[in-house]
């Protein structure tokens, strides 16, 4: 589950990183296109505006120079009274005036047409000052023409003093006009420079911005690479972890498989063992070597043992699968213990002692509990060559528990086996030398006691031998009143 | 002259059956109830036979026996007399026994349970006759 979340967030993060890189590169390309357009636009303005205006200005200048010339000619022809040439020069002078006005108007229109072209503030300001300059030039020129006309008309009056003053004023106007025209030229030059600077600036800005974006994309790519590396490391760790857990599971399965093989071997051994004498009895009886009755008695006893073995194997299967069924009944545990203990005959070597409280009524599976007691006494006998086997009971009514202790003075339990004594095949399989019994008895005992809700445990005695204790509840479902009465009694 | 047989058998009925069938065929058989008793009986007989002759012609063992298992008993006996003929009778499948027999000598044989008593007698008689012919 956590792995799934991890995966999702990982792919999401990779996706976002890649999307950001693509977006940034896209932005860089867009910016490049935009800048190119802007620069192209500025250059277009520059070429469209600059050349005709510059040409216009030089026209104005030429026209102006020629007008001076024609004015001079007119005044000379006036002095020498060449009326034919005077008229011609005068009309030429007037035509230059018209041409001048026309050129001014043309430049004005040209400039005006760019005013609302969507240019930046500085360019517009420059254009406005050019227009103002043009207007001034126009007005100075018209003053000049007016003055020149006055001079030509007053020449006939021979008023010399006036004539000199007027001539001086005309020259002033002429100089003013020249100045203004050269200023206009300068303005145009400024505009050109400004536009060129703007284009350069745009280019530089765009280059810088693109560089920033590309570097950012690069940094994000590096981060993504680092991040992928981290994820990869995580994945490697994950694989190592999973492999380890799989190896662990595999080892567990191998162990279980060995246990299963052992179980099959032991089950087959246990089943075949009583079968062998049954065949023997049949064979001997058939050949007349023994009597029929002896054979049948033997067969019947072995058949019972076989049944017992079969039941035990079935019980192991039930315990393994957690389906051991108990049939509860109320019975006298004291009587059961005494009955089982007395079924084992004490001899000179081994003595079975009982220290059992009288009248212990319990609610449990009588047959199963009997099986456990049999098993434990059998075990004690198996490991005790000579000595005492004790069966002791102790009731704890408050806790609703009865404790049964079976201790012997035998060889004790090997410390290697003790911690896993109640496991399946704790006493080892047939391949080991210390093998005693089938290794299922105590496993079965624990299964039965645990199914009752009790506990079973073992320890080695200080002096000699071992002790096995088990507890089971006295009453299955204890009711408070019953308990109270039990305690009172 | 019959064979002298030592059989270790914890199933008291099986032991009685061995006794019946071998005595029927004029062989003498000694039954041990567990591994330790088996080794003790072997030692005792070995000490009694001062002339160095075989204490028993054949020893029958089970792998699974109280107190001392079959393999250990076989080792003890082979230490005393390395050429002692030993036959294991066992209810285990072959797979289990293969491992156990590799540590034992060639003079050791295995018979799987169950088998007929007459078969066992024949096997022992034939094996012994073969050995004497060589």
Which residue in chain A is spatially nearest to B62 when comparing CA positions? A273
List the domain range (segments joined by +) for residue B74. 4-133
Residue of A261, A309, A431 to mutate for B, most B C-beta atoms under 10 A:
A431
Alpha carbons A149 and B26: distance in angstroms, whole number: 177
**Whether A381 contacts chain B with CB within 8 A:** no
Which residue in chain A is spatially nearest to B72 when comparing CA positions? A433
Split at pLDDT 50, 70, 90, the class of A438 is low
- What H or E segment, with its residue span, contains residue A307? helix A292-320
Q: B116, A283: Cβ pair inside 8 Å?
A: yes
The shortest C-alpha distance from B13 to chain A (Å) reads 6
Burial of A215 (0-12, 13-18, 19+ CB in 10 A): exposed
DSSP letter at A59 equals H
Alpha carbons A339 and A342: distance in angstroms, whole number: 5
Which chain B residues contact residue A436 at CB under 8 A?
Answer: 66-67, 69
Q: Could you tell me whether strands B58-61 and B4-8 are parallel, antiparallel, or unpaired per DSSP bridges? A: parallel
Q: What is the pLDDT of residue A161?
A: 66
Q: What is the pLDDT of residue B96?
A: 57
pLDDT tens for A232-254 read 888 899 999 999 999 999 999 99
Contacts with A285 (C-beta within 8 Å, 6 or more apart), sequence order = A291, A292, A294, A295
Burial of A242 (0-12, 13-18, 19+ CB in 10 A): exposed
Split at pLDDT 50, 70, 90, the class of A156 is low
Domain of B55, CATH number, reads 3.40.50.2300
**Is the ipTM above a cut-off of 0.90?**
no
What does the block give as tokens for A87?
């008229």
- Which of B11, B92, B117 has its CB closest to that of A283? B117
Which residues in chain B land under pLDDT 70?
Answer: 1, 52, 93-107, 129-134
* Pick from A223, A169, A196: nearest CA to A24: A223
- Which of A269, A284, A289 has its CB closest to that of B64? A269
pLDDT tens for A66-111 read 888 888 888 888 888 888 888 888 888 889 888 988 988 888 888 7
Alpha carbons A347 and A291: distance in angstroms, whole number: 31
At A462 the three-state DSSP class reads: coil
What is the rounded average pLDDT for all residues in chain B? Answer: 81
Split at pLDDT 50, 70, 90, the class of A118 is low
**Whether A268 contacts chain B with CB within 8 A:** yes
**Whether A280 contacts chain B with CB within 8 A:** yes
- Which of B14, B92, B118 has its CB closest to that of A277? B14
**Whether A260 contacts chain B with CB within 8 A:** no
One-letter-per-residue 3-state SS of chain B = CCCEEEEECCCHHHHHHHHHHHHHCCCEEEEECCHHHHHHHHHHHHHHCCCCCCCCCEEEECCCCCCCCHHHHHHHHHHHCCCCCEEEEECCCHHHHHHHHHCCCCCEEEEECCCCHHHHHHHHHHHHHHHHHC
Q: What is the pLDDT of residue A404?
A: 95
DSSP letter at A477 equals S
Q: A276, B64: Cβ pair inside 8 Å?
A: no
Burial of A89 (0-12, 13-18, 19+ CB in 10 A): buried
Q: What CATH number belongs to A328-488?
A: 3.30.565.10
Residue of A430, A433, A440 to mutate for B, most B C-beta atoms under 10 A:
A430
Q: A280, B71: Cβ pair inside 8 Å?
A: no
- Which of A289, A298, A382 has its CB closest to that of B21? A289
Q: What is the pLDDT of residue A40?
A: 77
| Count: domains in chain B | 1
Residue of B19, B70, B117 to mutate for A, most A C-beta atoms under 10 A:
B117
More confident residue, A334 or A482: A334
Which chain A residues contact residue B11 at CB under 8 A?
Answer: 273-274, 276-277
What does the block give as tokens for A325?
């069924």
CB pairs under 8 A between A and B: 75
Q: A273, B91: Cβ pair inside 8 Å?
A: yes
Residue of B64, B70, B75, B95 to mutate for A, most A C-beta atoms under 10 A:
B64
- A359 phi, psi to nearest 5 deg: 65, 40
How far does chain B reach from its first CA to its final CA, in angstroms? 18
Which chain A residues contact residue B21 at CB under 8 A?
Answer: 280, 284, 289
Which residue in chain B is spatially nearest to A298 when comparing CA positions? B13
């Amino acid at each position: 589950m956590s792995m799934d979340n991890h995966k999702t967030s990982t792919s999401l993060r990779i996706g976002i990183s890649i999307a950001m890189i693509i977006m940034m590169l896209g932005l860089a390309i867009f910016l490049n296109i935009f800048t190119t357009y802007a620069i192209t636009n500025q250059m277009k303005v520059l070429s469209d505006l600059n050349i005709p205006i510059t040409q216009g200005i030089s026209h104005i200048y030429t026209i102006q120079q020629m007008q001076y010339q024609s004015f001079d000619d007119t005044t000379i022809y006036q002095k020498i009274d060449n009326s034919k040439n005077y008229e011609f020069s005068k009309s030429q002078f007037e035509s230059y005036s018209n041409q001048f006005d026309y050129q001014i108007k043309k430049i004005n229109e040209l400039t005006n047409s760019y005013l609302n072209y969507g240019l930046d503030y500085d360019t517009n300001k420059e254009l406005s000052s050019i227009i103002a300059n043009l207007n001034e030039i126009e007005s100075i020129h018209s003053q000049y023409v007016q003055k020149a006309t006055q001079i030509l008309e007053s020449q006939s009056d021979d008023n010399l003093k006036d004539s000199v003053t007027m001539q001086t004023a005309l020259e002033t106007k002429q100089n003013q006009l020249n100045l203004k025209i050269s200023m206009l030229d300068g303005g145009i030059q400024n505009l050109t420079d400004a536009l060129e600077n703007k284009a350069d600036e745009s280019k530089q800005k765009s280059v810088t911005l693109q560089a920033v974006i590309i570097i950012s994309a690069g940094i994000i790519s590096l981060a993504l690479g680092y991040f992928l590396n981290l994820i990869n490391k995580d994945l490697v760790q994950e694989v190592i972890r999973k492999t380890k857990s799989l190896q662990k599971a595999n080892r567990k399965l191998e162990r279980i498989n060995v246990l299963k093989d052992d179980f099959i071997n032991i089950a087959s051994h246990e089943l075949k063992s009583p079968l062998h004498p049954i065949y023997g009895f049949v064979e001997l009886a058939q050949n007349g070597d023994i009597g029929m009755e002896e054979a049948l008695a033997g067969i019947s006893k072995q058949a019972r043992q076989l049944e017992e073995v079969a039941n035990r194997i079935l019980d192991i299967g039930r315990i393994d699968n957690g389906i051991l069924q108990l049939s509860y009944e109320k019975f006298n545990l004291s009587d059961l213990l005494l009955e089982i203990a007395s079924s084992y005959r004490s001899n000179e070597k081994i003595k079975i002692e009982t220290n059992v409280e009288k009248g212990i009524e319990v609610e449990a599976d009588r047959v199963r509990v009997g099986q456990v007691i049999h098993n434990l006494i059998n075990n004690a006998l198996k490991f005790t060559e000579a000595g005492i086997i004790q069966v002791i009971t102790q009731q704890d009514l408050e806790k609703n528990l009865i404790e049964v202790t079976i201790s012997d003075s035998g060889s004790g339990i090997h410390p290697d086996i003790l911690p896993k004594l109640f496991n399946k095949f704790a006493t080892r399989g047939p391949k080991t030398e210390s093998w005693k019994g089938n290794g299922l008895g105590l496993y079965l005992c624990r299964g039965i006691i645990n199914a009752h809700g009790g506990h079973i445990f073992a320890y080695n005695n200080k002096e000699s031998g071992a002790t096995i204790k088990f507890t089971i509840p006295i009453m299955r479902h204890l009711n408070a009143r019953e308990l109270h009465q039990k305690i009172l009694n | 002259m019959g064979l002298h047989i030592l059989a270790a058998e914890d199933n008291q009925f099986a032991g009685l059956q061995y006794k019946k069938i071998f005595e029927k065929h004029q062989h003498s058989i000694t039954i041990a109830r567990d591994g330790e008793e088996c080794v003790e009986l072997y030692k005792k007989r070995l000490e009694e036979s001062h002339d160095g002759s075989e204490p028993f012609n054949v020893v029958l063992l089970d792998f699974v026996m109280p107190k001392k298992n079959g393999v250990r008993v076989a080792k003890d006996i082979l230490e005393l007399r390395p050429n002692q003929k030993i036959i294991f009778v066992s209810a285990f499948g072959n797979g289990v026994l293969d491992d156990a027999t590799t540590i034992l000598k060639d003079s050791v044989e295995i018979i799987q349970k169950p088998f007929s008593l007459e078969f066992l007698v024949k096997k022992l008689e034939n094996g012994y006759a073969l050995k004497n012919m060589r």
